[in-house]
Amino acid sequence: MKSCLKSSALRACGSIMLLLGLLGTVAVPPAPRITERNYQRYFDRYDLQGSFLLLDAATGQYTAYNLPRCRQGFLPASTFKIPNTLIGLETGAIRDTTDLCRWDGVKRSFPQWNQDMTMARALRVSCVPCYQQLARRVGAARYQQQLPKLKFGRMQVTPATVDTFWLAGPSRITQFEQIDFLQRFQRNKLPVARRSADITKALLVLGRGPGWTLRGKTGWTMQAGHDNGWFVGWVEQAGKAYFFALNAEPQNGGPAAANFIQGRRAVTEQILRQEFGLLPAAAHQ
């Protein structure tokens, strides 16, 4: 009798250990495959320093320049307009992107912002005041409900920071996290209505031609004289998707100039074209 009990206990223990082993295997995702490259020459053309990350979705292969920096968190700036548009549509804060953003009469340094405009145009010209109006309509409580579902970096929002939390404060997102979000968005794996996703994707189209489409969004934060910029998005070409995230700053911490403003997208497109054979020569419009 004792022998039977001992044998049963051993079998039960063995089953538990096997189950724990299987659970442990499932819980640990495989490490991403990353190839490191040096693309500083592209940044040098625009007096920039920074990092670049690309994911070939078909193979799961990442290519990184300045890998430690690709893992460093930065404020998302206007790249947050992508999830912000989705949240606005999902919560009913905007009915669609033809909704009008009324100019508040305050003249700002970007003249294209000093007018009434649709939310569609507000995203295209990256109008911060329009999206701040949207943020106040959404409210901190609904952001706190929606943001964990989207898993867009580590956003921190309170009632006091509801219209600035993506531009200042402790919110952060890495280039890996940007690409993870964009990949789920592109594959319709976000917990949002298909209508919201399709409307937002249409606004992100920057160029297209036979067999290819480029979607993306820039971002720019200015903190205590320090400028930081983004260009994130994806290329669909020949039936495949390639996701990218660039983060850059002026070399030597100097003030942003035309090179910084143009360079975020220009550096990205040159790398995509010359290193990966993506986009035709006239893709940048």
The Cα–Cα gap between 90 and 146 comes to 9
* 8 carries an active-site annotation: no
Identify the active-site residue in 3, 7, 51, 78. Answer: 78
Burial zone of 71 (CB within 10 Å; 0-12 exposed, 13-18 middle, 19+ buried): middle
- Which of 236, 204, 239, 201 shows the shortest CA–CA distance to 219? 204
The Cα–Cα gap between 174 and 176 comes to 5
The Cα–Cα gap between 203 and 207 comes to 11
Name the amino acid, one letter, at 48.
L
The Cα–Cα gap between 153 and 173 comes to 4
For the annotated catalytic residues, the residue numbers are: 78
